[in-house]
Amino acid sequence: MSSQQRIERPVRRLAMISLHTSPLDQPGTGDAGGMNVYVIELAKRLAAQGTEVDIFTRATSSALEPVVDPYDGVRVRHIHAGPFEGLTKTELPGQLCVFAREVLRTEAAHPVGHYDAVHSHYWLSGQVGALARDRWGVPLVHSMHTMAKVKNEALADGDTPEPQARVIGEEQVVEAADLLVANTDLEAKQLINLYDAHAGRVEVVHPGVDLDVFRPRERADVRRELGLPVDADVLLFAGRIQPLKGPDVLLRAVAELLRRDPGLRERLVVPVVGGPSGSGLEHPDALATLARELGLDDVVRFVPPVAQDDLARWMAAATLVAVPSYNESFGLVAAEAQATGTPVVAAAVGGLTTVVRDGHSGLLVEGHEAGDWADAIARVLTEPVLAQRLRSGAVLQAKGFSWEATAQSMLAGYERARWMMRQEATA
């Protein structure tokens, strides 16, 4: 983009839309996960660089204040649209009109041109963002985070396919957006190949990691703080408990490891940090039941979702972090684990192939067979030279992902979207 093409006035105010889940919700349960972290961390870094951010999300409790200012320059607006509780994500499309009306009403209370751009997250938010774009005359930047066509190509056993209504809705958002933000090169290709996105409207911007929170710590110290044996082999799963995330894959691999080496049981601890989500809500005790059936009651510890500081301590305490997902647009858990200096054993799917450098910061596993996962985990546990190389490489790999860099790239993307919109208007 030439200097003549650049927008002189930077993006002063941004409307960010996260309809189905609030960035203030606790990640690891319900619909709260990496996207929640993404939205609030990006907003914080944008505000630090001079862009005020209003985040519009659906109120899920009458106790919530209409407006919350969690950080300087960041405002979360809770929109009343539908019942506070009991509304599933599949039922939310019926509330899009009400939500959109309230978003437009908020802007109408300000002078014309209050917002310079709209950034929507997930396809439901994109539907609202497209209306705001046309009403306000500002560009729509959209982040998919996950895509129905991609998820449906790699369903876990027992998972539910995404409905055709979502596929159609995503296609509409892709067509409406001035700029589509992909987390990785692979996601960019999926947008182009599966959704016919115009290549010139797709920008790759990697998410980041809070390197002040997720950092190496003395493993023995954090293990004592968490009540873990200092000399244990700690295999950690962190995330929402649902088929998509594959926590059962880790448990089956652990059972295979114990079958091969029963003596491992004396020093093995498998913390599962998170809560039921998505289709996992239909059988919230399924993972605990599986642990009992596999004879793992004495090694598996179920830990409710924890705040980011505590999650960082769990990761720093682990021997390795397992990420056996069937699909990940990026894989924030893997990036955060690596930032603590802990190797990751991850499925070779989606964004995980970008986040994890195979053989250097972790190990990538093709497929989800228990034997293959047991092989990879055993290598980290029994090959000290490899484990040390992975620990060192994990820290180096994580340094390539920072929220400050994400915010800088995103600001450039907003500017590019504004320029493209203006070019179209004058064409």
First to last CA, the chain: 17
* Phi, psi (degrees; rounded to nearest 5) at 89: -60, -30
Question: Which residues, in sequence order, are bridge partners of residue 320?
Answer: 235
Residue 362's closest CA among 385, 384, 342? 342
- The answer to the question of whether 245 is labelled as a binding residue is yes
- The answer to the question of whether 337 is labelled as a binding residue is no
- The answer to the question of whether 73 is labelled as a binding residue is no
- The answer to the question of whether 33 is labelled as a binding residue is yes
Q: Angle at Cα 358 formed by Cα 357 and Cα 360, nearest 5°? A: 70
- The answer to the question of whether 315 is labelled as a binding residue is yes
- The answer to the question of whether 137 is labelled as a binding residue is no
- The answer to the question of whether 20 is labelled as a binding residue is yes
- The answer to the question of whether 318 is labelled as a binding residue is yes
- The answer to the question of whether 354 is labelled as a binding residue is no
- The answer to the question of whether 26 is labelled as a binding residue is yes
Return all residues near 189 (Cβ < 8 A) that are at least 6 apart. none
Residue 330's closest CA among 41, 26, 35, 40? 35
- The answer to the question of whether 32 is labelled as a binding residue is yes
- The answer to the question of whether 149 is labelled as a binding residue is no
- The answer to the question of whether 410 is labelled as a binding residue is no
- The answer to the question of whether 275 is labelled as a binding residue is no
- The answer to the question of whether 89 is labelled as a binding residue is yes
- The answer to the question of whether 107 is labelled as a binding residue is no
- The answer to the question of whether 272 is labelled as a binding residue is no
Question: For the sheet containing 52-58, what is the strand order?
Answer: 67-71, 74-79, 52-58, 13-17, 117-121, 140-143, 179-182, 202-204
CA distance linking residue 310 with residue 222, whole number of Å: 10
Positions at the binding site for 1D-myo-inositol 3-phosphate: 20, 31-36, 89, 122, 146, 166
Positions at the binding site for UDP-N-acetyl-alpha-D-glucosamine: 26-27, 34, 240, 245, 306, 328, 336
Positions at the binding site for Mg(2+): 315, 318, 342
Positions at the binding site: 20, 26-27, 31-36, 89, 122, 146, 166, 240, 245, 306, 315, 318, 328, 336, 342
